[in-house]
Amino acid sequence: MLEKFAAIGGFNAADVERVDLYQNGVLVSGPSRRQRRTNNPITVKAIFKESVTVDVAEVAQITNTKIANGDVEVTVTVGGNEIKATVTETVTAKVKVTLTAEPTVDCPNVNATVAAAVAAAVATITPEDGITQADVDDAVAVANTNMDATVAAAVAAAVAAITPEDGITQADVDDAVAVANTNMNATVAAAVAAAVAAITPEGGITQADVDEVVHNFNALKDKMKKKENKINAERKKMKKKENKINAERKKMKKKENKMKKERADYRKFKATVEDALDQPKSKLKAAIRFILAHELAHAVDSKH
């Protein structure tokens, strides 16, 4: 099982000091442990040797990724029967921290105070199994807080007690630097302006010439844009006139068709009258009635 775990987690099985099996929170592995029949899950705990360096967090991450993908299977033989199971529970990594000596700080005047602060912080840690990284971080934070305040006070007192040989203090140096920076900024600005003014371009073209060309180009571009907008406006007007002319053409076409129809009706009427005039007198009366009726109907249709 250890070799299987090592292959999955990517570590060397030889780096493991021992493997413990827990069931219901009770250690069940080892020759002195009596085994009881139960179906409860078994937790495998691998303890690495103190002499090796193993990133247990990385081992846990790699293993948990494979567990999430369903790639971790375990095979055991019980009573001659081979049993296979897929691991579904994730792996948890824990680090045991053992303090072998009190830390010291090589800083004059504050070593004893810092050591006392660290000792007080360390005293809050119970060095036994189950110490997490959070416990260690809390203790270090307490130590750092006490140490920072004490060291800052001691350093400030030490700096204040220093008497420079030439009588120049750090405050004098800071003031001199501030004055130098102010004067330097003004001097540099004036020097740059003078240097720019003294530049003679090889081609005789100055920045003013370039600026004038750019200005004229932009002005010309704006003028062309205005002309383009004017042309587009004229095109819209022409399009509107063209649409109006097309509408008038449609009206004229409609009138032309109407006139053609009236001419056809007139030719038909003329043919009817001429035919009636060629008929005997007995039929002339009936033809005249037809002509009058046709004229009356035509007058009504023409609204005049």
Mean pLDDT over each residue of the chain, to the nearest integer:
78
The predicted structure's pLDDT at residue 228: 95
* Spatial separation of the C-alpha atoms in residues 203 and 198, rounded to whole Å: 15
Over residues 205-213, the mean pLDDT reads 86
Q: What is the DSSP secondary-structure string of 90-153?
A: PP---------S------TTTHHHHHHHHHHHHHT---STT--HHHHHHHHHHHHHHHHHHHHH
Query: pLDDT grade, residue 259 (50/70/90)?
Result: very high
pLDDT of 190 over the 50 cut: yes
pLDDT of 54 over the 90 cut: no
Over residues 138-147, the mean pLDDT reads 77
Q: Please choose, from the candidates 135, 9, 127, the residue with its C-alpha nearest in 3D space to the C-alpha of residue 64.
A: 9
The pTM of the full predicted model, rounded to 2 decimals, is 0.31
Pairing of strands 73-78, 42-48: unpaired
Over residues 264-273, the mean pLDDT reads 86
Which range, of 120-124, 146-150, 214-218, 223-227, averages the lowest pLDDT?
120-124
Amino acid at 162: I
Amino acid at 107: C
Is there a contact between 109 and 160 (Cβ–Cβ < 8 Å)? no
Neighbours of 106 (CB within 10 A): 7
